[in-house]
């Protein structure tokens, strides 16, 4: 790497020149920041301003560029220079827009700007331009696991884009659950009648596509590798196994219907004339164009009652606490099976809340009404065999009375149970092949896993994609749907969340696009989401490693294994560049070329810390670049103000925060530290899934450090901040300023 030559460029546009002494900032960049070249310009983002920087890179050998202007989130296209390190020092949103324009505030506003210039120059000294992984043998083939509607759609969409696909299906035919349906809820206007499922047409299109290979009666015996270089052992029912390489994987393993035998109170299993929705599909298919007959004695069904939310949206033990999304529309469709054969058949749908999401929604519901389907708001109290069908007792909520009805058939709208495979976080880690307990304890006896693995991953963290809630695979619902904690592996369809067929088709299309993106990034040695295109990846100083395993355990994405000597082994293709491993490392030997303990640590150390007699506190704010930092930017844009004592440093993820930064800040005289990360937990918004959670866990132990330093615990605060918290985020900084005002400044002031 050539010697660093810093070029610092101070913008005077957007009011910066009116509010700040930019010539003083140039002097600071030269004298304190050791910039070889320091210039100011009326509008850095203008064609002339950008060309000035390009000329210095080409003619003066500048390879480290500090742009002191607007936020790093603005003008990204203008300030894009290949082959050099770039620092975006935020003087607009981070200084002049968050401070009032008064004479008494001018001094502290200038001090803020000066500190940020110092910080920018200090950071850039410890950055190197990242270079891509030199591997160029990445596979373009995409593996789709599951041949239902989601899997077939994903395979076709990838193939249409020119990517070869291998489709693995456990059963002997394509279609999944959809292949067992007589009709589907309509996907086209006027949404009045059930439509053909389209399974046969999809299957035919797949068979005719030369880019798609279909493996029926097949499963994955073993899956290893990373984006661009996955290796999968495809095992057939006959016992043969072959190994293929893939660039990305789409898991479309679908769902199975909830086991209605757990609902004896609704008569299932006690009378043959109580069936679930899939059971009714079988009866209608068997009837062909003729009348549907009840199972008990073959009598033609004349009265049928549909019971919604059977065993779901319920907190009872063994029930599903969630709504499966499709059931109400499915019951309307199935009631039409009867009405379309014979309008005189009595069809009644019993519901507590009728939900008809998606495009068909209201239109399909009204079509059902027009066909004579009766909708009753009520709750079933008992279902029993009458010797002539079933006797149903229910409470009519509208009429507030109990009603008993004799019907020929009861149809239970049970929910979806995802085929997600092993819940790797519900079993002790040593019992998952190749893994160890996070705490280093083998956990004792083995745990019997009640389900089979879908992917059979060789990751030390477990055989399948981690699950989020209720058995559905983990994915970032808010920001990054489809994406799991296993880079390059994308879940789609009902295995990801409950959904109907139309939603599954859309979902599969998105997953296919994500898989394609992963393949292309892998070819270029770039990171996947959320830092898509990032060329950096972690490295570590082996001689300093203590083999504590914290990095391997805390990595949310299974990107770190161990070599034969039990040292961490980084797999950059799996890495999301969050830096959680860097934050976990107690000896600080893990770093990225352009983000490290030093790049942040030097920013912290290069803030001017006034002595206690100046009565000018300093508050360090470590803000996640994904939510908290944008929230502060938008707060500035909307006129929100925060304390002049704050110095904000964006971090990739709160999980990357090493406690040494907090300790060094307090030791060097900072009066308070505020950490802002994303929401954690079941409804997490952390772009790196577990980063914010890990940071909160680490910071929960910071009280011991504060006690050792004889400092008040109020001096360090950790918060969950959403990107929409444009009023709350600056308020948290102001709260810390008020706290410092109450408890006094740090005794560690120089």
With contact defined as beta carbons under 8 Å apart, do 491 and 475 qualify?
Answer: yes
With contact defined as beta carbons under 8 Å apart, do 226 and 571 qualify?
Answer: yes
* Domain termination site, one of 416, 444, 460: 416
Q: State whether 246 and 264 are in the same domain.
A: no
Q: State whether 290 and 210 are in the same domain.
A: no
Residue with tokens 């893990």, as numbered in its chain: 590
Q: State whether 384 and 427 are in the same domain.
A: no
Cβ neighbours, 10 Å, residue 265: 14
576 in a structural domain: no
- Give me the CATH number covering residue 72: 3.40.50
Q: How far apart, in whole angstroms, are the C-alpha atoms of residue 109 and residue 97?
A: 10
CA 443 to chain centre: 30
Tokens representing residue 102 in the block = 């008064």
* Domain termination site, one of 389, 416, 443: 416
683 in a structural domain: no
Q: Cα–Cα distances in Å, from 568 out to 21, 55, 226, 293, 590?
A: 49, 42, 16, 64, 10
Q: Where are the alpha helices (DSSP H) in 133-291?
A: 149-160, 199-208, 277-287
511 in a structural domain: yes
Residues with Cβ within 8 Å of 693's Cβ and at least 6 positions away in sequence, in order, are 655, 680, 681, 684, 686
680 in a structural domain: no
Q: State whether 396 and 482 are in the same domain.
A: no
Q: How many domains does the chain have?
A: 3
Q: State whether 451 and 511 are in the same domain.
A: yes
Q: State whether 282 and 410 are in the same domain.
A: yes
Q: What are phi and psi of 331, to 5 degrees?
A: -65, -40
Q: How far apart, in whole angstroms, are the C-alpha atoms of residue 526 and residue 535?
A: 5
Q: How far apart, in whole angstroms, are the C-alpha atoms of residue 577 and residue 697?
A: 20
Q: State whether 399 and 279 are in the same domain.
A: yes
Q: What is the pLDDT of residue 7?
A: 97
Q: Encode 178-189 in three state secondary structure.
A: HHHCCCECCCCC
- Give me the CATH number covering residue 366: 3.50.50.60
Helix (H) and strand (E) counts in the chain: 18, 31
226 in a structural domain: yes
* Domain termination site, one of 523, 544, 577: 523
Q: State whether 116 and 174 are in the same domain.
A: no
Q: State whether 217 and 278 are in the same domain.
A: no
327 in a structural domain: yes
Residue-wise pLDDT tens digits, 53-62: 999 999 999 9
The angle, 0 to 180 degrees and rounded to 10, between the axes of the packed helices 628-637 and 728-743 is 100
**Range of the structural domain that residue 92 is part of:** 1-129
Q: Cα–Cα distances in Å, from 458 out to 220, 222, 231, 250, 549?
A: 12, 7, 10, 17, 18
Q: What is the pLDDT of residue 575?
A: 92
123 in a structural domain: yes
* DSSP letters spanning 428-492: -GGGSTT---TTS---SS----SS--SS-B--TT-SSPPEEETTEEP-BTTTBTTB-SSTTEEE-
What 8-state DSSP symbol labels residue 164? -
Q: State whether 409 and 279 are in the same domain.
A: yes
Tokens representing residue 684 in the block = 């997490």
Where b means 16+ CB within 10 Å and e means fewer, 180-201 reads: ebbbbbbeeeebbebbebbbee
Q: State whether 362 and 389 are in the same domain.
A: yes
The beta-strand segments (E) located in 83-160 are: 85-90, 142-145
Low-confidence ranges of the chain (pLDDT < 70): 1-2, 133-136, 427-450, 477, 750
Q: State whether 77 and 197 are in the same domain.
A: no
705 in a structural domain: no
Q: What is the pLDDT of residue 615?
A: 87
230-236 and 241-246 as β-strands: parallel, antiparallel, unpaired? antiparallel
């Amino acid at each position: 790497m050539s010697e660093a030559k810093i070029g610092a460029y101070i913008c005077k546009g957007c009011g910066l020149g009116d509010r700040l002494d930019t010539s003083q900032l140039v002097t600071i960049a030269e004298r304190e920041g050791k910039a070889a070249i320091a210039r100011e310009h009326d509008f850095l983002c203008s064609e002339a301003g950008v060309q000035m920087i390009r000329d210095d890179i080409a003619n003066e050998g500048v390879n480290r560029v500090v742009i002191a202007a607007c936020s790093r989130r603005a003008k990204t296209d203008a300030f894009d220079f290949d082959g050099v390190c770039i620092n975006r020092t935020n003087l607009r949103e981070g200084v002049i827009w968050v401070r009032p324009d008064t004479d008494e505030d001018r001094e502290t506003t200038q001090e803020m700007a000066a500190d940020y210039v110092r910080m920018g120059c200090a950071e850039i000294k410890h950055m190197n331009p990242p270079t891509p992984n030199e591997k160029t043998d990445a596979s373009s083939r995409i593996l789709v696991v599951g041949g239902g509607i989601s899997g077939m759609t994903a395979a076709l969409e990838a193939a249409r884009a020119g990517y070869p696909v291998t489709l693995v299906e456990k059963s002997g035919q394509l279609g999944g659950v959809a292949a067992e349906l007589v009709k589907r809820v309509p996907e086209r206007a006027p949404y009045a009648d059930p439509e053909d499922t389209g399974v046969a047409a999809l299957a035919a299109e797949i068979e005719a596509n030369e880019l798609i290979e279909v493996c029926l009666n097949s499963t994955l015996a073993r899956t290893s590798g990373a984006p661009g270089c996955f290796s999968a052992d495809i095992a057939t029912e006959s016992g043969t196994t072959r190994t293929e390489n893939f660039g990305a994987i789409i898991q479309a393993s679908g769902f199975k219907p909830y086991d209605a035998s757990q609902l004896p109170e609704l008569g299932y299993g006690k009378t043959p004339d109580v069936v679930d929705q899939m059971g009714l599909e079988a009866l209608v298919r068997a009837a062909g164009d003729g009348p549907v007959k009840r199972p008990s004695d073959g009598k033609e069904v004349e009265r049928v009652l549909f019971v919604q939310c059977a065993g779901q949206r319920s907190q009872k033990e063994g029930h599903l606490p969630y709504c499966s999304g499709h059931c109400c529309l499915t019951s309307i469709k199935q009631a039409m099976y009867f009405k379309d054969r014979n309008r005189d058949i009595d069809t009644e749908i019993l519901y507590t809340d009728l939900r008809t999401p998606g495009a068909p929604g209201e239109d399909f519901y009204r079509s059902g009404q027009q066909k004579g389907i009766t909708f009753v708001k009520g709750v079933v109290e008992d279902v029993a065999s009458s010797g002539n069908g079933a006797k149903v007792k229910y409470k009519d909520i509208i009429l507030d009375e109990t009603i008993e009805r004799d019907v020929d058939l009861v149809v239970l709208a049970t929910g979806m149970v995802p085929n997600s495979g092993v819940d790797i976080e519900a079993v002790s880690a040593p019992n998952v092949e190749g893994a160890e307990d996070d705490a280093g304890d083998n956990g004792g006896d083995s745990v019997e896993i009640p389900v089979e693995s879908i992917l059979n991953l060789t990751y030390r963290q477990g055989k399948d994609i981690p699950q989020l809630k209720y058995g559905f695979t983990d994915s970032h619902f808010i920001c990054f749907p489809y994406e799991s904690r296993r880079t390059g592996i994308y879940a789609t369809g009902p295995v990801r969340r409950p959904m109907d067929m139309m939603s599954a088709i859309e979902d599969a299309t998105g997953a296919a696009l994500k898989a394609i993106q992963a393949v292309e990034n892998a070819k270029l040695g770039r990171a996947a989401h959320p830092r898509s295109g990032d060329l950096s990846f972690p490295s570590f100083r082996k001689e300093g490693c203590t083999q504590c395993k914290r990095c391997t355990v805390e990595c949310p994405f299974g990107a770190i294994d161990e070599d034969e000597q039990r040292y961490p082994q980084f797999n950059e293709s799996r890495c999301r560049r969050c830096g959680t491993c860097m934050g976990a490392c107690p000896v600080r030997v893990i770093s990225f070329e352009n983000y490290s303990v030093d790049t942040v640590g030097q920013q912290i150390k290069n803030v001017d810390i006034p002595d206690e007699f100046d009565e000018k506190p300093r508050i360090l704010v470590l803000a996640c670049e994904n939510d908290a930092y944008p929230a502060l930017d938008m707060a500035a844009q909307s006129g929100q103000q925060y304390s002049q004592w704050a110095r904000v440093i964006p971090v990739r993820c709160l999980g990357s925060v090493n406690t040494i930064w907090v300790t060094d800040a307090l030791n060097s005289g900072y009066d308070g530290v505020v950490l802002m990360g994303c929401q954690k937990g079941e409804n997490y918004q952390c772009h790196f899934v577990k980063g914010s959670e890990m940071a909160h866990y680490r910071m929960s132990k910071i009280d011991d450090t504060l006690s050792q330093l004889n400092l008040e615990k109020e001096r360090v605060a950790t918060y969950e901040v959403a990107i929409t918290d444009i009023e709350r985020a600056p308020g948290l900084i102001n709260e810390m300023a008020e706290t410092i005002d109450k408890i006094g400044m740090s005794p560690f002031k120089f």
